[in-house]
Amino acid sequence: MLKETSSKDFAKDVLTSKGKVAVDFWAEWCGPCRMVAPILEALAEDFPEQITIYKVNADENSGLTAELKISSIPTIVVFEDGKETKRVTGAKPRGILMDEFGLI
């Protein structure tokens, strides 16, 4: 199951987490965001021991979005032990996301 986080909880949920965390920056009006959401939901359910996936509403958390220099959505930022390791921009199919997240 996808989890939600916000500017208020981002440090606790993501930056102090051990292991791999992916954060999907999205917005309700974003068509590609709606396309990738079910894929991320399935990955969260299929690989709960390998990765935690959070969603951040970019419109509601504009300060965090600006701080992380997110310039387009969807952007998925991957963190390992609190450090950013990768960014994936745009809607991608399941296989590519699995590869980018190191799940293959």
Is 30 marked active-site? Answer: yes
**Residue that has been written with the tokens 């399941």 in this structure:** 94
What does the pLDDT read at residue 43? Answer: 98
pLDDT digits (tens, 9 = 90+) for 53-65: 999 999 999 999 9
Among 68, 73, 95, which residue's Cα sits nearest to residue 84? 68
Give yes or no for residue 14 having a pLDDT over 90: yes
Two structure tokens written together for 50? 């390998």
30, 53, 76, 88: the catalytic one is 30
27 vs 48: CA distance, rounded Å: 24
pLDDT tier at 68, thresholds 50, 70, 90 = very high
Is 94 marked active-site? Answer: no
pLDDT digits (tens, 9 = 90+) for 40-55: 999 999 999 999 999 9
14, 33, 58, 78: the catalytic one is 33
Average pLDDT over every residue of 4-31: 97
Two structure tokens written together for 18? 């051990």
pLDDT tier at 1, thresholds 50, 70, 90 = confident
pTM to 2 decimal places: 0.95
What does the pLDDT read at residue 25? Answer: 98
Class of domain 3-100: alpha beta
Q: Are 69 and 59 in contact (CB under 8 A)?
A: no
What is the dihedral sign for C-alpha 77, 83, 86, 87? positive
